[in-house]
Structure 1
Amino acid sequence: MQKVTALTLLLGIGWLVLVAITLRGTVEMGLLAGLYTFAGDFAHPWRAQFHTDLSLNVFLIALWLLYRARSWQVGLLWGLLALMAGALFTLPYVVIAMIREKGDWRKVLLGRHFKAAESRY
């Protein structure tokens, strides 16, 4: 259980850092500038590679959220939030899931599919 607490703390700190950086960018440049920067970065080959890689990972996380949700409607909402907000949404989601499942990673990863997977073994 202590490992879960350390990971939860680490994810919480990461989320706070991300919130601070996001607030700074929003205050100094506005939200729309973030969209222009993201789109404009595709003109640079390495920034395009980074953003494509990151976007594919966020899409994969959105699919996982859809898979593990208690219903496809809730999963769709969680997936869309992950696509729109990235780690601002997914970090708290994972922390809450870990707390709810008392650190059982099988339950965290499988969500509603855990009982079916458990009966196979």
Structure 2
Amino acid sequence: MLAFRITLVGAWVAITVLSIHAVATLGPTDGSVFFTDFSNGWRAQTNGDFVAFILLAMAWIAYRERTFPRVLLALPTVLGSVYLLPYVFVATYTSRGRFAALLLGNARGGLSVN
């Protein structure tokens, strides 16, 4: 589990640095590049894959959390890995290092919710 957590932190640092660079060079509201790239074949595939990943991640968080107030944790997933990686990192601790509890949530993964 330690190697997995280190990977999560490393990936989060890398994506955060890339995001800061993008905002510094293009500005925080220049999302037009994302939407206009759908006219280019490979960029459309990459962006479409990213959108599918975001929807899958939101569905996974909603499934894992079970209760409506906690399902709202899925909404910031539209931020992508900047949000999802810290969520998974914290979940590795709340699941007490058990992968079944990490993937399914504590109640479904064999841990009691205290």
Q: TM-score, normalised by structure 2?
A: 0.89
Contact 1:15 1:88 in 2 (8 A): yes
Alignment match of 1:82 (pick from 56, 77, 89): 77
- C-alpha distance in structure 2 between counterparts of 1:31 and 1:38, whole Å: 13
Query: Which residue number corresponds to residue 27 of structure 1?
Result: 24
Greater helix content: 1
Task: Count matched residues.
Answer: 111
Residues of 2 paired with 1:13 and 1:64: CA distance?
22
2:10 aligned residue? 13
Which residue of 1 is the match for residue 51 of structure 2? Answer: 55
The Cα shift of 1:15 comes to 0.2
Relative contact order, CA 8 A, sep 6+: which one is greater?
1
Q: Deviations over 1:73-101 (max 9, x none)?
A: 321x2221102x11100000001100121
The percentage of aligned residue pairs carrying the same residue is: 26
| Counterpart for residue 67 of structure 1 | 63
Which of 82, 92, 106 in structure 2 is aligned with 1:98? 92
Provide TM-score, normalisation by structure 1. 0.84
